[in-house]
Amino acid sequence: MTNLTHLDEHGRARMVDVGGKPATARQAVASGRIRMSPQALAAIRAGDAPKGDVLAAARIAGIMAAKKTAELIPLCHPLALDSVTLDFAFEADALRATATAASPAAPAWRWKPSLPPASPSSPSTTWLKRSTKPW
């Protein structure tokens, strides 16, 4: 079990500390072949499926899913995304879907402390503001 980074020495789930990890640009590509009935494939190819543009709906769903990856995959850290694309290619008896997601070398935003509370009676909460400066 020691090779699994999301499990501790006792086999319990844990979130991996990535705080000291350098920022790197990343790209992920996933592709799959979707098989279906010849009638369904012909309707999608012709653009006359009973429920509308199937590929447009699939493209939107794929982009939305990529943006929610950290919510959908347990123990996944949230990642900033520069872009997500979904491409479709018709094959003789199937449809090939290819999704590509790109993450910047540095997150699009950083959070840093801003001014302290205005008075001693203010809450001791640390105030944060948005920053576009690198770490």
- Structural domain contains residue 45: yes
CATH assignment at residue 78: 3.30.70.640
- Structural domain contains residue 41: yes
29, 100 contact by CB (below 8 A): yes
Q: Show pLDDT as tens, one digit a residue, over the chain (135 residues).
A: 457 688 888 889 888 887 777 888 889 999 999 999 999 999 999 999 999 999 999 999 999 999 999 898 888 888 889 999 999 999 999 999 999 999 887 644 444 444 455 545 544 444 344 444 444
Q: Which pLDDT score is estimated for 110? A: 47
Number of Cα atoms under 13 Å in the Cβ half of residue 119: 2
C-alpha closest to that of 90 among 124, 133, 55: 55
Residue 67, domain extent:
26-107
Q: Which pLDDT score is estimated for 61? A: 96
Residue whose token pair is 């123990």: 75
Q: Which pLDDT score is estimated for 75? A: 83
Q: Which pLDDT score is estimated for 131? A: 43
C-alpha closest to that of 65 among 45, 81, 88: 81
- Structural domain contains residue 32: yes
- Structural domain contains residue 133: no
- Structural domain contains residue 12: no
- Structural domain contains residue 80: yes
Q: Is the pTM of this model over 0.85?
A: no
**Distance of alpha carbon 78 from alpha carbon 68, whole angstroms:** 8
109, 70 contact by CB (below 8 A): no
Q: Give me the phi and psi of 128, to 5 degrees please.
A: -125, 150
- Structural domain contains residue 123: no
**Distance of alpha carbon 58 from alpha carbon 125, whole angstroms:** 43
Q: How many domains are there within the chain?
A: 1
- Structural domain contains residue 38: yes
